[in-house]
Chain A
Amino acid sequence: MSSLNDRQQNRPVTYSHYTKNKRESSDAKSAQSRVSSGESKANDRAKRKSVQHSTFASYFANHVWALVSTLGSLYRTPLSTMMTTTVIGIALALPAGLFVLLQNVQHLSSSWDNGTQISLFLKHDVKSAQTSELLSQLESYSLISDIRYISAAQAFEEFREKSGFNDALTLLEENPLPSVLVISLANQYPSEAEVNVLMEYLSNLESVDTAQLDMQWLARLNGMIQIAQRGLFIVALLLGLAILVIVGNTIRLTIQNRCQEIEVSKLIGATDSFIQRPFLYGGIWYGLIGGVIAWGLIFVSLHMLKEPVKNLSVLYSSDFTLIGLGVYESITIILIGIFLGWLGSWVSVRRHLREIEPK
């Protein structure tokens, strides 16, 4: 019954094509016959070009189309998309979050000055001439990079301002504080022996009362930060690898699901680059969405840390606040996500697309 219907609606159409599409047919005819002769081949190509996109426009249009339609196909499989992107998000957020924390620690420690310092407390009776002599003597010492002179008066003033003992201090008849030379070392991480030799030398100077090795813990902290940075680098590398595997596997499954489509496309004359495009864009979308998720995770975590950190820094009468993600860092996270997503799918596509050939 239904095939009868087909026929009835089909027959007039089929035959009417002859008259209706005559112009088109003859058009095709001339194109066909020209194929055989060589010189008109370019002609034919030119004619084709007029209905096809120019190379660049076509390239661009194809890409935009693939990009948008790929997003559509991700949307149609929300669960798998969500799982993949979430895993990518977490794998990105972990090293990126640690990086931000580390940056905060570094920022904090840099506000306390860098490296090892030595404070030379001068004897009370040292004259200014002697001081300048001492200064020039020390400056020639190669281990020393910088010397800051804080006179007794300056030190007193500073102490009064910072300690809050303003009233009590005014009762003092005489400034009890000595002048100080703050010496920064050229080498941020000097060896124990070097420091010992230097300390020996400094404490034996005539005008020096005591030499005090300051802030060595800061140098140690910096050393630890360096170790943490290395560790972070390794963690980031491993998690990056994990992202590649995750994306690669997801893309492999998609390729298997769309095996039929790939086969047919190849039969119709699709190039490898055409066929792999949606998969590469799939990877890029996974990376992009994963990057945004990572950014969100870090943003929320930092937000949750903000209050307690602020409370703590108030206790240390510091105005330290957590540095969040800047524009630069945010873009970097997302770009890294995109890159890893693209790379993972590229590797997978390279491996699996060739396996599918029409039979």
Chain B
Amino acid sequence: MTALRAKSRGNSPENSWLDNENVQALLLFLLSLGIFLLFWEVGARMKLFAKGVPTASLTIKELWYWITHPFYNNGPNDLGIGWNLLVSLRRVAIGYTLASIIAVPLGILVGISKVAFKAFNPYFQLLKPVSPLAWLPLGLYLFRDSELTGIFIITIASIWPTLTNTAFGVAGVNSDYLDVSKTLGASRRRTIFKIIIPAALPNIISGLRISMGISWLVIVAAEMLLGTGLGYFIWNEWNNLYIPNILVAIFIIGIVGILLDQIFAYLEKLVSFGK
């Protein structure tokens, strides 16, 4: 009875929007953000934290400045954050595309053949857990150029998740689909393009998603050593010992990371077909 009444009350127009899960979550989020910022501001003003920690208000002011002045150019050590962001994105785009062009077809080839899968899997397993930054000296030695090295690192970093996911997806295609294709007498080529690749697409896309995440993680670290880009921006501000700008850069890196990830989340949904 009480439950019934509570329910009907919840449905009345005045306060129904408060019962919405999303609204509740948003309110809780805003509340926690407010408390965090307040704690930060008060703590920084009272010098409770380490020396040099900026206040929340100063950081937000800097954030506003950088967002409203993204594209100016006073030489490599004083570049608008927009330029740096574009530099990082360009490196990721080139390296990541290159990696995907290699990883997807190779993954399909390896996944199709049981022998190839068993034979080459040890390489992937060995190379996958290596931090991409370990390749940095090798890249610098090979290319003697920071731009190419950055792209090389991204390529190396983003090849493995796509490759292994594609190979696993292709190797694990539901045998029912293959049986259908066999009973129809479909050619090998038709089976690969019409059955195996579409069936493995969810795996391929999640591989691409992980690879994109890793590229974005790695580019920032790599750029600290390479000059220009968001990573270098952070490194430069560290040399200037100006903490607010470092925090601004972290925030922007996070936001861009979310956006990149969301593109793939959308693609994943597109190919999941009710699963």
**A-B interaction:** no
Chain B interface (Cβ < 8 Å from any Cβ of A): none
Chain A interface (Cβ < 8 Å from any Cβ of B): none
